[in-house]
């Protein structure tokens, strides 16, 4: 179990580094969007490439940020039900649902994304829009996002199992034994 927890900490560190890094892409997307709007309105200049860069950046943040959201326990859940359950019950439910749903979903999507990306890369696929960009970087972001989500799902399963079996304290709790508030509760 100790080796699995080391693996989990490594995955968490990689996920954190990537999650924090890609957040800066939002600033780039906003600046590109604003610059494109200003040029379009003032000089009547525009390009589909600028629009596509924006959705590439937003898509990359979404895809590579999904694993970080899972790590931070910010993923969607139905609090109406889970808020009435004990912490141990929530941990067991998380463990079981991660194994039954999240792991197969992320694995299947990564498996399906590989040939989709590879064909695009090998063929040099280009957007059908006039002045559009090559497509494979966006498809690579999908592949990498699901691969990272798969790794983070494994990390979460390892941690939930260790917490449920009493091998570790819950890393999501603060020193007072309280779960930090979710972003929606702040």
Query: Residue 120 domain-assigned?
Result: yes
In-domain check, residue 135: yes
Q: How far apart are CA 20 and CA 6, in angstroms?
A: 21
Residues 107-110: contacts with CB under 8 Å, at least 24 apart: 107/150, 109/142, 109/146, 109/149, 110/143, 110/146, 110/147, 110/149, 110/150
pLDDT of residue 174: 59
Contacts of 105 (CB under 8 A, 6+ apart): none
Assigned domain for 32 exists: yes
Question: Where in the sequence is the domain holding 50, given as residue range(s)?
Answer: 2-75+84-167
Predicted TM-score (pTM) of this structure: 0.84
In a domain, 177, yes or no: no
User: Is the confidence at residue 184, as pLDDT, over 60?
Assistant: no
In the chain, the number of structural domains is 1
Q: What is the pLDDT of residues 3-33, one digit of tens each?
A: 899 999 999 999 999 999 999 999 999 999 8
Indicate whether 56 belongs to any domain.
yes
pLDDT in tens, 155-179: 999 999 998 888 888 887 755 455 5
Whether 172 maps to a domain, the answer reads no
pLDDT of residue 76: 75
- What's the rounded mean pLDDT across residues 138-152? 97
What are 89-121's pLDDT values in tens digits?
A: 888 988 999 999 999 999 999 999 999 999 999
50 located within any domain: yes
The answer to whether position 152 is within a domain reads yes
Q: Strand, coil or helix: what is 164?
A: helix
Q: Is the confidence at residue 81, as pLDDT, over 80? A: no
Q: What percent of the chain has pLDDT over 90?
A: 56
What is the pLDDT at residue 170?
A: 81
């Amino acid at each position: 179990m100790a080796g699995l927890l080391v693996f989990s900490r490594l995955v968490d560190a990689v996920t954190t580094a990537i999650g924090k890094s890609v957040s800066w892409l939002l600033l780039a997307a906003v600046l590109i969007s604003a610059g494109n709007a200003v040029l379009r309105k003032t000089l009547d200049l525009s390009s589909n490439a600028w629009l596509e860069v924006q959705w590439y950046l937003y898509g990359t943040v979404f895809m590579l940020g999904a694993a970080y959201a899972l790590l931070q326990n910010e993923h969607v859940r139905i609090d109406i039900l889970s808020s009435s359950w004990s912490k141990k019950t929530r941990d067991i439910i998380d463990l079981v649902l991660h194994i039954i749903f999240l792991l197969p979903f992320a694995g299947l999507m990564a498996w399906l994304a590989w040939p989709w990306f590879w064909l695009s890369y090998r063929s040099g696929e280009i957007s059908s829009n006039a002045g559009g960009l090559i497509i494979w970087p966006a498809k690579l972001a999908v592949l990498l996002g699901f691969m990272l989500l798969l790794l983070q799902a494994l990390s979460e399963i390892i941690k939930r199992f260790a917490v449920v079996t009493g091998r570790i304290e819950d890393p999501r709790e603060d020193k007072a034994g309280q779960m930090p508030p979710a972003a929606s509760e702040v």
